[in-house]
Structure 1
Amino acid sequence: MTSKLPSTERSLPIALIRAREGVMAPIREMLAETGITEQQWRVLRVLSEYGRLDAKTLADRSSLLFPSLTRIAATLREKGFVTQTRDDADRRRHFIEITPSGQKIIDDRADEAARIVEWFKATLGADDYETLLNLLARIDPGAKG
């Protein structure tokens, strides 16, 4: 054992993994009947919030690697939840947009997703919830601000 390392009970990477599992459990439960994955949910949520996006921006905002987004977008397109078009000026650039069927997935679960968020806020307290988001943004290389 080396004394240079913190205890695994106080290890930030391990604590973040444990916290992620705690955060994702109710979301996984919510998505269980939908036939979509957590990653597909993120893509649909981002498209619902921002509208039509180019694939690179969508990957960034969904916290996905570009190759993963390519695969996920193809699956969502096959399910009829998104459309994908090429940029007329730059044929390498693709735009992805949520369809009414994809928006229905979001709309049908909006109340349950809001209840999950409220449970986290109640568990942490509203101020600590906001503080946690702010602290995490400080170590997120892609965070704005």
Structure 2
Amino acid sequence: MDPTQRPYQYQLPQRLLRAREAVMSYFRPVLTRHGLSEQQWRVLRLLAERGEMEAGDIAQRAGIHPPSLSGILTRMERDDLVYRHRARSDNRRLIVTPTPHAKALTQRIIPLSNDCYRRIETHFSPAKLQTLLALLDELENLPAP
């Protein structure tokens, strides 16, 4: 093996993708049963924690590209999950607010989501999960190249 090449199984992007899929296999069935995509759930969780938010902030915090978020929000508005309106102080800012239906749905799903975390912790341990989250925080804060 060429020492300048990393074997495929050590490639960070691929490993992170596979780890994400392993984790999402716990959550995806819950979201599917409630008619939500993973991206919609990320939006609803943010709105549950923060109330109304600017669309740009949602895109950044949820890890969704702004053009993709536009389509997601259109579908969420159609499904009575969010309201969208322009900020009075700056018409360029799009504000997103959860509907009462979305708030009720989120409250039904959060305990199920917490159960998923508990199931993961039975295999991975709470301490390892906390360590992993701390390492991911560091990884997210790498300086830009």
TM-score (norm 2): 0.91
1:32 is displaced (CA, Å) by 1.5
What letter matches 1:111 in structure 2? P
Task: Say whether residues 1:130 and 2:130 are aligned partners.
Answer: yes
Cα deviation digits, residues 83-117 of structure 1 (max 9, x gap): 11111121111100111111122111122100111
Distance in 2, Cα, partners of 1:94 & 1:10: 41
Distance in 2, Cα, partners of 1:105 & 1:26: 19
What letter matches 2:52 in structure 1? R
Matches within 5 A, 1:91-130: 91-130=91-130
Structure 2 stretches of 5 or more lacking a match? none
Cα deviation digits, residues 58-87 of structure 1 (max 9, x gap): 111111111111111111011110011111
Percent of aligned positions that are identical: 30
Partner of 2:52: 52
> Cα RMSD between the aligned structures?
1.5
Distance in 1, Cα, partners of 2:15 & 2:80: 37
1:30 is displaced (CA, Å) by 0.8
What letter matches 1:60 in structure 2? Q
1:129 is displaced (CA, Å) by 0.6
Distance in 2, Cα, partners of 1:98 & 1:86: 15
1:124 is displaced (CA, Å) by 1.6
Distance in 2, Cα, partners of 1:105 & 1:91: 30
Partner of 2:11: 11
Give the ranges of 4+ consecutive aligned residues of structure 1 lying more than 4 Å apart after TM superposition.
none
